[in-house]
């Protein structure tokens, strides 16, 4: 990230583990990494760099909005979509979709981090200390779980 955005500095404490899953309207199939999507029309939401990098070389269809991503799957414009697991579950529920299958196992997971502009570099040690303390006391994990539970999204 820093190479692409040289004015940003990472606060080196992970905030959240993003889990990417594949979803289909067709019969579920076993996924084994990104390459298992070869031969399928893969939809994803524009701007998620981790997905964009991993679907290079695949047949893709990019959606400008979350609802459009799922509409394209329903219309048959894509065979499978890739999305962040909890975001997908929320969207599927909010749109009232019932015939979309989450494929197992997840395609990938990665940690997300907070970034600050170089002009605020003096905040990095302070933010790091506070976030480390929160992580050691499992506060970040508990907040994430609490919010997912409120939305009834997690397993």
Give the closest residue to 83 by CA, choosing from 57, 65, 59.
65
73-95 per-position pLDDT tens digit: 999 999 999 999 999 999 999 99
So what's the pLDDT on residue 80?
A: 98
Average pLDDT over residues 91-115: 94
Q: Which CATH superfamily is domain 16-112 in?
A: Periplasmic binding protein-like II (3.40.190.10)
- Please state, in angstroms and rounded to a whole number, the distance separating the CA atoms of residues 24 and 111: 25
- Report the pLDDT value the prediction gives residue 28, as an integer from 0 to 100: 87
| Domain definitions of the chain by residue range | 16-112, 114-155
- pTM for the model stands at 0.85
pLDDT tens readout for residues 126-153: 999 999 999 999 999 999 888 888 877 7
pLDDT above 90 for 30: no
pLDDT at 67: 93
């Amino acid at each position: 990230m820093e190479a692409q955005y040289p004015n940003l500095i990472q606060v080196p404490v992970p905030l959240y583990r993003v889990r990417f899953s594949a979803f289909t309207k067709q019969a579920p199939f076993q996924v084994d990494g990104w390459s298992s999507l070869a031969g399928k029309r893969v939809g994803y939401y524009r701007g998620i760099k981790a997905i964009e990098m991993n679907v290079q070389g695949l047949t893709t269809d990019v959606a400008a909005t979350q609802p459009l991503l799922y509409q394209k799957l329903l219309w048959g414009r894509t065979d499978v979509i890739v999305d962040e697991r909890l975001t997908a579950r929320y969207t599927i529920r909010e749109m009232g979709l019932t015939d979309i299958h989450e494929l197992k196992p997840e395609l990938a997971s990665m940690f997300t981090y907070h970034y600050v502009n170089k002009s605020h570099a003096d905040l990095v040690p302070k933010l790091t200390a506070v976030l480390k303390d929160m992580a050691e006391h499992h506060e970040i994990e508990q907040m994430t779980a609490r919010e997912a539970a409120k939305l009834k999204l997690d397993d």
